[in-house]
Chain A
């Protein structure tokens, strides 16, 4: 079975919600929609206090090329535009909307029939992705229209669809592939058309045999789409690791997949693209896995963006008493949220409620140079060295050691027998080095 060759770890899977069908969460009484739900410049709000908005209406417009539109996920009145602390832990502008009914914009096709015929041209598809606010739903939230615009001089030969979902606990992509398999495949065909490629590969980790067989069966109806089972190993779902596993090509350091002729999209994105192109529905709701060992009713929910996280936890059986941390995303790469009013955003694939015993950090012990972190690193870095360089502020040296190649998968911290905060320091070093490089380029 295919996988990437170097490093990787095997965290306990804990896919508690793999068998729970996706449930629509009722529309909350009020939503808070941040204007930056993507990588790149935040969108500019185009509504003001007191304005009436409909579900699917643009409330903030993309600013610049690497940016994305933000749509209202509910109908109602804009209460205010203010700062909130969002899931990233920092303050940012958000639009507060009080919900009144659920009136959708007329152009959205709300029927459940599957439309397979693709009428739009490649350029129109890219444009639609921009206007519908489609971003990568795997977690990085990179605007999709940017990925669909192949830079001049480069050629895209293959589309890779990421259905790996290697993060423990999360099952949102898994359920989407099972329940919305055909829509996902139409979405893949749309992406293929936009990129003008005739081949697409869907990579799925082998712990989802039902999704693999289901999609393989459906894919026989579609031209050029093949489904591939991948070995269960974290971080199989990382873009570069997935490319290496599927087409055995390596993306050079500091380059993008397009440089070797590949483009990677997530299955969630493929579904969002299907809805945007065939149903004219902008991206304002997504599947979120709400899970945790102490939750009484963990599940997968179809949620409007802007819904406070507490609503999701309530739907999943209420906040357990032994809660230590609530993680936005999976336990490996996710980030603990600082309050439960944090809104659901486009990039939120899961909410993991971790009991106190498992959540707290262990005492930091000295490094014994066992090099387990070196063996676990999927991009061949030396995490122990990068950590001590960042700790001592030797950022120039850290840059030479390739700190910017780190994708922050957390395999090093997971494997460290001394419970050292390797990734914490590497992240610090990486962001400092990136800042330094930016300043150097400005000069």
Chain B
């Protein structure tokens, strides 16, 4: 009885030892040497796996950072400059300064300004509506309002406003990963340079039709009248395909163009209220 136990123990121990030796040699033979810095960098990345950097996930981005000679063209929009600086410190490189961006909806076609001409009751999906017809209004460029962008946002930075029927983007939560830009079948979401205090001046219209039909379809459409170009002293505004565009890198927020626009297609956001003339005069008098 006792000998059976002893023999069993000895046999199993020998088997274990033998297996351990084989496993040791196999482990040595097939050892994968991975740069330990990849783990280090992955640890500081936001782990959002949003794809905003252009890679499938944070791990792939970390590998790319370690492999790359310079940080040119590599940026984590979620982590921004502080994370990139940390990664650069680990790898002994320098991170170029990349301006933070924010997603902006290039359409302001609320039901009030863009009358509804038909009702869509198909599958609630912008891609399908876009494939089917010009949309619920006469504007074939504007927001379809079925919320593909909201569903694409992983950061809870968007919601559909039931009154305006347009998506609302939260400046605090948006990390400019670009998921909504890709999701929009009409390509009316743009990543623009983030300014101080989230100030924005942009042409909120994507209608490439000529002035008259554009205005007919939507009261706040850009009619390419050139007035904004004339007033802009910094050459930030261009007109292409009957549509004005304000370059967010050249714009100095002088606030001249919004009041010039005859259709109110140029929107200014997060600015202090404009002072009336009497207020300005009072300030001058009081020094």
A–B complex contacts, Cβ < 8 Å, 15 sampled? A85-B133, A88-B133, A89-B134, A90-B134, A335-B132, A339-B117, A361-B122, A391-B125, A421-B122, A421-B123, A424-B125, A425-B123, A425-B125, A427-B131, A428-B131
Interface of B, helix, strand, loop or mixed by DSSP: loop
Q: Which residue of B is nearest A325, CB measured? A: B121
Are B133 and A424 interface neighbours, CB within 8 A?
no
Are A424 and B123 interface neighbours, CB within 8 A?
yes
Q: Does A431 count as interface, using CB distance less than 8 angstroms?
A: yes
Q: Does B128 count as interface, using CB distance less than 8 angstroms?
A: yes
Chain B 104-138, CB-CB to A under 8 Å as 1, else 0, gives: 00000000000001100111010110011110001
Are B213 and A83 interface neighbours, CB within 8 A?
yes
Chain A 172-186, CB-CB to B under 8 Å as 1, else 0, gives: 000000000000000
Question: A360–B123 Cα gap in the complex (Å)?
Answer: 12
Q: Does A91 count as interface, using CB distance less than 8 angstroms?
A: yes
Question: A91–B208 Cα gap in the complex (Å)?
Answer: 13
Q: Does A338 count as interface, using CB distance less than 8 angstroms?
A: yes
Question: A361–B125 Cα gap in the complex (Å)?
Answer: 14
Q: Does A1 count as interface, using CB distance less than 8 angstroms?
A: no
| Given A83-B213, A339-B117, A339-B118, A425 contacting B133 (CB threshold 8 A) | no
Q: Does B140 count as interface, using CB distance less than 8 angstroms?
A: yes
Are A338 and B128 interface neighbours, CB within 8 A?
no
Q: Distance (Å) between the CB of A338 and the closest chain B CB?
A: 4
Question: A90–B127 Cα gap in the complex (Å)?
Answer: 15
Beyond A85-B138, A421-B123: 9 further Cβ-contacts under 8 Å? A89-B134, A338-B133, A338-B134, A339-B118, A361-B121, A421-B122, A421-B128, A424-B122, A431-B131
Chain A 69-103, CB-CB to B under 8 Å as 1, else 0, gives: 00000000000000101001111000000000000
Contacts of B140 in A (CB 8 A): 90-91
Partner of A85, one of B121, B131, B134: B134
Q: Which residue of B is nearest A90, CB measured? A: B134
Contacts of A361 in B (CB 8 A): 121-122
Could you say which of A83, A90, A338, A427 has the most chain B C-beta atoms within 10 Å of its C-beta?
A338
* Number of B residues with CB within 8 Å of any CB on chain A: 15
Are A90 and B123 interface neighbours, CB within 8 A?
no
Partner of B128, one of A85, A339, A364, A424: A424
Question: A364–B123 Cα gap in the complex (Å)?
Answer: 9
Contacts of A425 in B (CB 8 A): 123, 125, 128
Chain A 409-443, CB-CB to B under 8 Å as 1, else 0, gives: 00000000000010011011001000000000000
Contacts of A364 in B (CB 8 A): 123
Question: A88–B125 Cα gap in the complex (Å)?
Answer: 19
Question: A339–B137 Cα gap in the complex (Å)?
Answer: 11
Question: A83–B128 Cα gap in the complex (Å)?
Answer: 23
Contacts of A427 in B (CB 8 A): 128, 131
Q: Distance (Å) between the CB of B131 and the closest chain A CB?
A: 5
Are B127 and A89 interface neighbours, CB within 8 A?
no
Question: A430–B138 Cα gap in the complex (Å)?
Answer: 26
Contacts of A431 in B (CB 8 A): 131
Number of contact residues on A: which range applies? 10 to 19
Are A338 and B117 interface neighbours, CB within 8 A?
yes
Q: Distance (Å) between the CB of A299 and the closest chain B CB?
A: 26
Question: A283–B137 Cα gap in the complex (Å)?
Answer: 33
Q: Distance (Å) between the CB of B182 and the closest chain A CB?
A: 10
Nearest 3 CB-CB pairings of A with B: A89-B133, A421-B123, A338-B118
Chain B 131-168, CB-CB to A under 8 Å as 1, else 0, gives: 11110001010000000000000000000000000000
Chain A 362-397, CB-CB to B under 8 Å as 1, else 0, gives: 001000000000000000000000000001000000
Are A90 and B133 interface neighbours, CB within 8 A?
yes
Q: Which residue of B is nearest A424, CB measured? A: B123
Contacts of B133 in A (CB 8 A): 85, 88-90, 338
Q: Distance (Å) between the CB of A82 and the closest chain B CB?
A: 8
Question: A338–B123 Cα gap in the complex (Å)?
Answer: 17
Chain B 211-254, CB-CB to A under 8 Å as 1, else 0, gives: 00100000000000000000000000000000000000000000
Question: A88–B121 Cα gap in the complex (Å)?
Answer: 16
Question: A338–B120 Cα gap in the complex (Å)?
Answer: 9
Q: Distance (Å) between the CB of A386 and the closest chain B CB?
A: 14
Contacts of B123 in A (CB 8 A): 364, 421, 424-425
Contacts of B121 in A (CB 8 A): 360-361
Contacts of A391 in B (CB 8 A): 125
Question: A90–B133 Cα gap in the complex (Å)?
Answer: 5
Q: Distance (Å) between the CB of A241 and the closest chain B CB?
A: 25
Could you say which of A360, A421, A424 has the most chain B C-beta atoms within 10 Å of its C-beta?
A424
Question: A365–B122 Cα gap in the complex (Å)?
Answer: 14
Q: Distance (Å) between the CB of B94 and the closest chain A CB?
A: 37
Q: Which residue of A is nearest B213, CB measured? A: A83
Question: A361–B124 Cα gap in the complex (Å)?
Answer: 11
Could you say which of A361, A425, A428 has the most chain B C-beta atoms within 10 Å of its C-beta?
A428
Contacts of B118 in A (CB 8 A): 338-339
Are A428 and B213 interface neighbours, CB within 8 A?
no
Question: A91–B133 Cα gap in the complex (Å)?
Answer: 9
Chain A 310-345, CB-CB to B under 8 Å as 1, else 0, gives: 000000000000000000000000010011000000
Q: Distance (Å) between the CB of A124 and the closest chain B CB?
A: 40
Contacts of B134 in A (CB 8 A): 85, 89-91, 338
Contacts of B131 in A (CB 8 A): 427-428, 431
Partner of A89, one of B125, B128, B132, B213: B132
Question: A338–B117 Cα gap in the complex (Å)?
Answer: 7
